[in-house]
Structure 1
Amino acid sequence: MADRIFDLFGDELPANWGQRGRPEHVASQQNRNRVSLLVALGWSNARIAAALFITQPTLRKHYFSELKYREVARDRLILNLGMKLWEQVRDGNVGAMKEFQKYLERNDLMTFGQTAPPSQPDKPVKEQKLGKKEAAKVAAHQPDTGSTLGQLMAHRQQVN
C-alpha cells in the first residue's frame, strides 16, 4: 500500500511514471464524468482529447462507453439538471421553483418544435444624434447618386 503514488489531483500515478516512455493513461471516474459532460456539450473527440491531454486513440480506448452515447448525452444532461432542480423544489427552494418553471417552459417549446419563446414587440429604437464630424464621416462613405458633378463643385465652392 505504501508504494502507491498519487498526483496533486489525487489520481494514482502509473507504475512506470518518471521512467522512459510515456506512462499509460489511467481512466479515472472524474475523467469519465468530464468526458460525459463534454460529449453532452457537443465537443468533438479531438477537442475532448486535447482538454484531457491525451490522444484521440487513447480517448476512444478508455472512454468508449461515454463516447457511444453521443446522440442522447445532451438529453441525459438536461434530465440530470431537471432532477436536481426538482429535488430543490421539493425541499422548498423558491429560486429553484422559478428556475424549474423556466425549465418547463423550455421543455414545452422543444415539445412543440419551437426554439425560442415568442418575442414581445420591441420598443422603437431612437436614432442616435451625430455631431458634425461623425455626420461628415458617414456622408463621406455614402456616395451621392443623384448629384451631378456641377452640383458637387458648386457645393464645394460654397463651403470654402
Structure 2
Amino acid sequence: MEPNFDLFGQPVREGFGNRGRPPYEPTEKDRNKVKLLMALGWVNSRIANALGISPATLKRYFRADMKERDAMRDRLDARRFEIALEQANAGNVTALRELGAMIDRNDRMTIEASMGKGSDQPAASKDKVGKKLIDEQRAHAADADLMAELESEAAQNARTH
C-alpha cells in the first residue's frame, strides 16, 4: 500500500483521523529539516509548525539535534563551501565565481570579528554614546561638509573669473 501525502507533501501517518493520537515517528528527512531550520535561526515553535507537531514533541524527539543548535549554521556554511568547491573542481565556472564570493565574505567576516565589529561582547561593556553627543558629532560633520562645499564653490568661481 502506497503512503498517502497531504497537501504539503508530508506523509499522512497510519491511523490519522481515527480515535486516539498515533505516536510520532521522526524520519531522517524530518531530522534534516530540523537541522536546516535551526541553521537558519528558526525558533522551536516555528520549526514545530513546519513539521506539523507540537513544540513539546519537537523537544522530545529532537533533543539531541537541538543541543547542537549553535553549530548548525557553521555546518551549513561548511557544506555550502564543500559543494561549491566540488562543482568548481568539476569545471563549473559559475560555481567557481560563487566560491570566490563565499571566500571573500568569509574573509570579511573574519576580519570584522578580529577588529571587534561583529564581536559577541555585551553592549554594556562598550562606551555608551548619548543623543546629545551624537547630535554634536553630526553637527561638526555637517559643518565640515559645508565648509568643504563652500571652498569647492569658491575655487570653482575663482577659476571661471
| TM-score category of the 2 structures, normalised to the smaller one | 0.5 to 0.7
Counterpart of 1:13, as a letter, is R
Q: CA deviation at 1:40?
A: 0.2
1:10–1:51 CA distance, 2 compared to 1 (3 A): closer
Deviations, residues 129-154 of structure 1 (Å, cap 9, x unaligned): xxxxxxxxxxxxxxxxxxxxxxxxxx
* Number of residues of Structure 1 aligned to a counterpart in Structure 2: 112
Larger helix share, 1 or 2: 2
Distance 1:13 1:110 in 2: 44
Q: Give yes or no for the alignment of 1:76 onto 2:75.
A: yes
Q: CA deviation at 1:26?
A: 1.3
For 1:63, the equivalent position in structure 2 comes to 62
For 1:135, the equivalent position in structure 2 comes to none
Distance 1:108 1:81 in 2: 16
Distance 2:77 2:84 in 1: 10
Q: Residue 85 of structure 1 contacts residue 100 of structure 1 at CA under 8 Å; is this kept in 2?
A: yes
- Structure 1: runs of 5+ lacking an equivalent: 117-160
Q: Residue 40 of structure 1 contacts residue 73 of structure 1 at CA under 8 Å; is this kept in 2?
A: yes
1:50–1:10 CA distance, 2 compared to 1 (3 A): closer
Q: CA deviation at 1:75?
A: 0.5
Q: Give yes or no for the alignment of 1:50 onto 2:45.
A: no
Deviations, residues 52-75 of structure 1 (Å, cap 9, x unaligned): 111111001111122111111100
Q: Aligned-pair RMSD on alpha carbons?
A: 2.1
